[in-house]
Amino acid sequence: MSNQFLVVDREVPYLHISQIELETRALLEEYEYKFGRKVTAPIPIDSITEIHLQLTLEFKDMKTLFPFADVHGAIWFDEGIVGIEQ
């Protein structure tokens, strides 16, 4: 798979920390219900991403991919990839 990705010019809505926390809690509750076990620290990000959400988790050089912005992670929906800063 190529390291080249299309960057779509679209506005990304600002999410307040309280909204992020609500969405995170909902995702963890879905995961707990599906797998019948309580999630505790450290959070199993790889399992949640790959098994529960059916996405591939990859570490990427975000500064090279997005030199114009302070990006720590991104989702490429067409490829089913979640990239996080290495």
Q: What is the pLDDT of residues 29-53, one digit of tens each?
A: 999 999 999 999 999 999 999 999 9
The reply to whether 3 falls in a domain is no
The reply to whether 27 falls in a domain is yes
The reply to whether 30 falls in a domain is yes
Do both 35 and 60 map to the same domain?
Answer: no
At residue 15, does pLDDT exceed 70? yes
Q: Could you tell me which residues are beta bridge partners of residue 60?
A: 85
Residue 1's pLDDT band (cuts 50, 70, 90): very low
Do both 38 and 59 map to the same domain?
Answer: no
Do both 62 and 86 map to the same domain?
Answer: yes
Overall domain count for the chain: 2
Question: Which residue is it, tokens 């080249």?
Answer: 4
The reply to whether 11 falls in a domain is no
Q: What is the mean pLDDT of residues 67-75?
A: 88
With contact defined as beta carbons under 8 Å apart, do 71 and 62 qualify?
yes
Tokens, residue 2? 């190529």
The reply to whether 10 falls in a domain is no
Domain extent for 21: 16-43
The reply to whether 86 falls in a domain is yes
Task: Give the pLDDT of residue 5.
Answer: 53
